[in-house]
Amino acid sequence: MVKIGNITLGNFPLLLAPMEDVSDPPFRAVCKDNGADLMYTEFISSEGLIRDAIKSRQKLDIFEYERPVGIQIFGGDEEPMAMAAQIVETTNPDLLDINYGCPVKKVVCKGAGSGILKDIPKMVKLTEAVVKATRLPVTVKTRLGWDDNTKNIEEVAERLQDVGIKALTIHGRTRTQMYKGNADWSLIAKVKNNPRIHIPIFGNGDICTPEQAVAARQKYGVDGIMIGRAAIGYPWIFNEIKHFMQTGEHLPLPTVLERVEVCKKHLRHSVAWKGDVVGILEMRRHYTNYLKGLPHIKEFRQQLVTCSTLASVEEILDKVAEHYKDHIIERVSPLADNSLPVNNEVADCNVYG
């Protein structure tokens, strides 16, 4: 059984990645319903928490039905990160995660995210400061290194374990790769097979089918995998992987009606958490992915993104369900043509790909 501190996650847990502008409570709710074992909030600025910024504080919202759930923070200085850890602890999550993977300039230039991969001693000191500041289990998400010449993830794993982290998630790319090229899982496997490593090692990058998940487990030996964009508009990916691992067979694909019903549940959570105006507005980014694979869907989608009330959106979604009730969507990679419009300056930051 995989454990993070006192948190038991099962034999091969599936983690939902922290994605900026995506992994909010409404999205996490539908992923939890569909088999996610451990979920994370959107990443939160340590400086924002200390300044009591409204957006940063709102990201601390977690609900009992989500557990176990972790809150992820980022920053480049010890004191603000330690203070942020103490603030996070007051909201009673199950664990605290540190983001050392975000590759975008506005984060990296502050020595945060994957920017800290240029200074491993600082990374270790910052991590130690966070571990000492909280009673929560502390985990880390990072990349293989800054570039091809500094793939130092084995050293990083040992040193972070030595200062007290309880699990490590590794995105199989360097910072300079951003989200391009293929993730290199061979280095993730080296960390997992290092006899000095005794904490759980989770792999991240390019997992979008049950077959790929099985291959990651069998070939690279990781303790679990983290899934990001493959779950956007397709939260069924978690249960599909679990079923395939247990039986070697695929679950039936969700019907159009099932897609619409989960989309409506996501929408209702969004409105309940954010209010009518913001909840409906921010939900618009998800319709394309929920309805992917439906022919001639453009007209319905255009109606959905212009509706301004919950009732009107649900009415259009019901029309979609009726119009396509006999249509069978073919099985394709959930990552194919992923068109979720996100803010690329902060989006996921450390999970996309």
Which domains are assigned to the chain? 2-247 (3.20.20.70), 256-324 (1.10.1200)
Measured between alpha carbons, how far is 98 from 107 in angstroms, rounded to an integer?
Answer: 13
pLDDT at 347: 36
303 is in an annotated binding site: no
pLDDT at residue 120, rounded to an integer: 92
- Tokens coding 287: 């319709």
Alpha helices in the chain (DSSP H): 25-33, 46-50, 54-58, 78-89, 105-108, 120-133, 153-162, 185-193, 210-220, 237-247, 256-274, 276-283, 287-290, 298-304, 310-323
Question: What is the reported pLDDT for 147?
Answer: 78
CB atoms within 10 A of CB 178: 14
- State residue 66's pLDDT score: 94
CA 303 to chain centre: 29
Query: Whats the size of the chain, residue-wise?
Result: 353
Tokens of residue 101, six digits: 């993977």
User: What is residue 15's predicted lDDT score, i.e. its pLDDT?
Assistant: 97
Our CA angle for 60, 276, 260, nearest 5°, is 90
Closest CA to 66 of 16, 19, 22: 16
pLDDT value for 290: 94
**Pairwise CA distance, residues 38 & 214, whole Å:** 18
pLDDT at 103: 65
Question: Would the annotation count 264 as a binding residue?
Answer: no
Q: What's the pLDDT score for residue 179?
A: 73
pLDDT of residue 339: 36
pLDDT computed for residue 109 by the predictor: 66
pLDDT of residue 350: 35
Please pick, among 31, 102, 263, 349, the residue that the annotation labels catalytic: 102
Find out whether 286 is annotated in a ligand binding site: no
**Would you call 102 a catalytic residue per the annotation?**
yes
Could you tell me the sign of the dihedral formed by the alpha carbons of 216, 235, 345, 58, in that order?
A: negative
- The pLDDT value given to residue 306: 93
Residue stretches of the chain with pLDDT short of 70: 102-103, 105, 109, 111, 114, 176-178, 331-353
Cα separations (Å) of 83 from 79, 190, 334?
Answer: 6, 34, 39
The span from the first CA to the last CA of the chain, in angstroms, equals 27
pLDDT for position 137: 97
Q: Are 76 and 112 in contact (CB under 8 A)?
A: yes
Check the annotation: does 228 bind a ligand: yes
Any known ligand binding at 229? yes
